[in-house]
């Protein structure tokens, strides 16, 4: 059974709770849940503040989030994306600036609720889950070069708050015995804050295990749903090695916070952007041929020569007066001399690598000695499109107006 709740149900707490929450990150999990135990998803941990482009990505997951009890084995996040003030990292990899055009498609996919292509598995239909860590209030600080050590295992940079995907604990309603305290051994007191606001003070021996800590949580009816435990400052996930001792896990005298995993359904990866663009092109032709005139002409100009191309700029010439566009079905060469000639002075209107554009203009005739697979469009206008494809159909009226007011006045350039 799936228990669905909105994030609004987490409100209505007292002032003490809200003040304490300021020191804790907000977390919700946008993970796939289906009758087969699969699905794609996003797990988001962070303050949830900020008014930049990333807010759309995190806001989308938060808006649709719902809590769920997942039966059987559940999929877990496989990738961790950490957002900073001006950029992000993927799986603790190199820092990537959001302003870099090469990262645009990656961010657009996340904003639309889809798995970025570079994070898809070998099987594109296989569920993929992603954890998002929201650190938009912080600037990225590159980790220092590692000092020499003979230890060959994994390490963590101090101060890093990247949450490992493995920190999730599956809910378990099974009755558990309370850990027995041995007064002859060293003890410590843990302060445990459960997801429902209940606070516990529990004494354990230092050689008690992480498994015993989870037993206490289940005994307090707080372990039936998937959750994670955070401790320390800044908060970090508690080890999921159930056999590790309290002392080994660094939990002596620690304050431990339980966070539920919130689940929502996320659409699987899709590639409909090209079909959307093609439909848009069709709308332009229909508008020219049907809505405006009975024949596809504007003041004698044959509008069948009009061509609209939507795609990604994959290459530019050295002087950037030409560029190559990939629309997913092939490549097209754009000749920009007319467009640049009419561009406002003092503005660099040349398309850049990675731009998502719509180019308007006639197709040039292909000479016999030129590879016919490479088409050339004489661009009269180049428009950088919004990332949200549903806004593209709004452009077709501007296209018609452009050809009416500009091209008809200079038919020799068409």
Any idea what the CATH number is for the domain that residue 117 is in?
Answer: 3.10.20.90
Does some domain include residue 2? no
**Do the beta carbons of residue 115 and residue 77 sit within 8 Å?**
no
Q: For residues 131 and 258, which has the higher predicted lDDT (pLDDT)?
A: 258
The answer, yes or no, to whether residue 205 has pLDDT greater than 90, is yes
Q: Are residues 202 and 323 in the same domain?
A: no
Contacts 24+ apart (CB under 8 A), 181-185: 181/205
The answer, yes or no, to whether residue 400 has pLDDT greater than 60, is no
Question: Could you give the angle at the alpha carbon of 187 between the alpha carbons of 182 and 192, nearest 5°?
Answer: 115
Does some domain include residue 78? yes
Does some domain include residue 253? yes
Phi, psi of 176 (to 5 degrees): -125, 145
- The closest alpha carbon to 82, from 11, 143, 5, 148, belongs to 143
Give, as one character, the DSSP assignment of residue 10: G
CB neighbour class for 112 (10 Å; exposed up to 12, middle 13-18, buried from 19): middle
For position 86, what pLDDT does the model report? 87
Q: Are residues 250 and 102 in the same domain?
A: yes
Determine the average pLDDT of the residues in 292-312: 49
Q: Which of 210, 245, 263 is the C-terminal boundary of a domain? A: 263
Q: How many Å from the N-terminal Cα to the C-terminal Cα in the chain?
A: 64
Q: Are residues 42 and 191 in the same domain?
A: yes
Determine the average pLDDT of the residues in 240-246: 87
Distance separating alpha carbons of residues 178 and 180, to the nearest angstrom: 6
Q: Are residues 91 and 211 in the same domain?
A: yes
Q: Are residues 280 and 243 in the same domain?
A: no
For position 271, what pLDDT does the model report? 40
Does some domain include residue 173? no
- Express each pLDDT in 368-387 by its tens digit: 444 444 667 778 778 776 54
For position 135, what pLDDT does the model report? 80
For position 358, what pLDDT does the model report? 79
Distance separating alpha carbons of residues 133 and 112, to the nearest angstrom: 18
The answer, yes or no, to whether residue 157 has pLDDT greater than 50, is no
For position 206, what pLDDT does the model report? 92
- The closest alpha carbon to 285, from 338, 366, 339, 360, belongs to 360
For position 127, what pLDDT does the model report? 62
- The closest alpha carbon to 87, from 103, 74, 111, belongs to 103
Q: Are residues 147 and 244 in the same domain?
A: yes
Q: Are residues 243 and 313 in the same domain?
A: no
Burial readout 122-147 (b: 16 or more C-beta within 10 A, e: otherwise): eeeeebbbbbbbbbbeeebeeeeeee
**Do the beta carbons of residue 306 and residue 403 sit within 8 Å?**
yes
Total of domains in the chain: 2
For position 40, what pLDDT does the model report? 40
Distance separating alpha carbons of residues 26 and 365, to the nearest angstrom: 58
Could you list the residue range(s) of the whole structural domain that residue 65 is in? 7-158+179-263
DSSP 65-120: -EE-PPPSS-----EEEEE-SSEEEETT-S-EETT-GGGHHHHHHHHTT---GGG-
For position 159, what pLDDT does the model report? 33
Q: Which of 203, 233, 263 is the C-terminal boundary of a domain? A: 263
For position 58, what pLDDT does the model report? 65
For position 257, what pLDDT does the model report? 86
User: How confident is the prediction for the chain on average, in pLDDT?
Assistant: 63
Instruction: Please enumerate in sequence order all residues whose Cβ is within 8 A of that of 342, keeping only pairs 6 or more positions apart, or say none.
Output: 380, 406
Does some domain include residue 239? yes
Does some domain include residue 204? yes
Determine the average pLDDT of the residues in 208-231: 83
Does some domain include residue 58? yes
For position 207, what pLDDT does the model report? 92
Torsion of CA 152, 92, 84, 54, to 10 degrees: -160
- Express each pLDDT in 51-88 by its tens digit: 455 676 666 555 544 433 333 344 444 677 888 888 88
DSSP three-state, residue 123? coil
The answer, yes or no, to whether residue 9 has pLDDT greater than 60, is no
Tokens found for residue 27: 């977390």
Q: How many CB atoms lie within 10 A of CB 353?
A: 15
Q: Please give the C-alpha separations between residue 241 and each of 12, 119, 229, in angstroms, as whole numbers.
A: 35, 27, 12
Q: Are residues 259 and 391 in the same domain?
A: no
Q: Are residues 55 and 77 in the same domain?
A: yes
Q: Are residues 53 and 121 in the same domain?
A: yes
Q: Are residues 377 and 245 in the same domain?
A: no
Q: Which of 263, 298, 333 is the C-terminal boundary of a domain? A: 263
Distance separating alpha carbons of residues 101 and 356, to the nearest angstrom: 9
For position 82, what pLDDT does the model report? 83
Please report how many Cα atoms fall inside a 13 Å half-sphere around the Cα of residue 132, on the Cβ side: 32
Does some domain include residue 165? no
The CATH code of the domain that includes 366 is 2.40.50.200
For position 3, what pLDDT does the model report? 25
Q: Are residues 386 and 345 in the same domain?
A: yes
């Amino acid at each position: 059974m799936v228990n669905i709740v909105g994030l609004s149900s987490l409100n209505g707490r007292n002032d003490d709770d809200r003040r304490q929450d300021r020191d804790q990150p907000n977390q919700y999990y946008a993970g796939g849940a289906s009758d087969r135990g699969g699905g794609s998803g996003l797990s988001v941990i962070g303050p949830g503040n900020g008014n930049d482009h990333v807010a759309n990505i995190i806001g989308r997951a938060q808006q649709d989030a719902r809590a769920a009890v997942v039966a059987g084995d559940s999929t877990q996040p496989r990738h961790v994306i950490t957002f900073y003030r001006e950029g992000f990292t993927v799986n603790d990899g190199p820092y990537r600036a959001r302003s870099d055009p090469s990262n645009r498609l990656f961010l657009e996919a996340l904003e639309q609720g889809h798995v970025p292509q570079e994070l898809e598995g070998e099987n594109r239909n296989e569920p993929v889950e992603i954890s998002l860590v929201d650190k938009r209030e912080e600037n990225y600080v590159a980790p220092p070069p590692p000092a020499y050590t003979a230890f060959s295992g994994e390490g963590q940079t101090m101060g890093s708050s990247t949450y490992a995907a493995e920190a999730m604990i599956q809910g378990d309603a099974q009755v558990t015995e309370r850990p027995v305290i041995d007064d002859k051994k060293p003890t410590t007191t843990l302060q445990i804050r459960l997801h429902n606001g209940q606070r516990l003070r529990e004494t354990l021996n230092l050689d008690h295990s992480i498994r015993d800590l989870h037993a206490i949580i289940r005994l307090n009816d707080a372990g039936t749903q998937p959750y994670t435990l955070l401790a320390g400052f800044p908060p970090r996930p508690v080890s999921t090695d159930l056999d590790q001792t309290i002392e080994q896990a660094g939990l002596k005298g620690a304050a431990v916070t339980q966070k539920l995993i919130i689940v929502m359904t996320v659409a699987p990866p899709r590639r409909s952007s090209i079909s959307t663009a093609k439909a848009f092109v069709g709308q332009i032709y229909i508008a020219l041929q049907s809505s405006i005139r009975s024949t596809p002409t504007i003041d004698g100009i044959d509008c069948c020569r009009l061509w609209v191309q939507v795609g990604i700029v994959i290459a530019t010439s050295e002087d950037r007066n030409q560029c190559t566009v990939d629309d997913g079905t092939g490549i097209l060469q754009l000749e920009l001399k007319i467009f640049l000639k009419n561009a406002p002075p003092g503005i660099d209107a040349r398309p850049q690598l990675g731009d998502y554009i719509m180019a308007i203009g006639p197709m040039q005739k292909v000479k016999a000695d030129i590879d016919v697979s490479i088409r050339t469009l004489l661009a009269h206008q180049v428009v950088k499109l919004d990332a949200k494809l549903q806004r593209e159909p709004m452009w077709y009226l501007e296209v018609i107006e452009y050809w009416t007011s500009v091209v008809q006045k200079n038919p020799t350039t068409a």
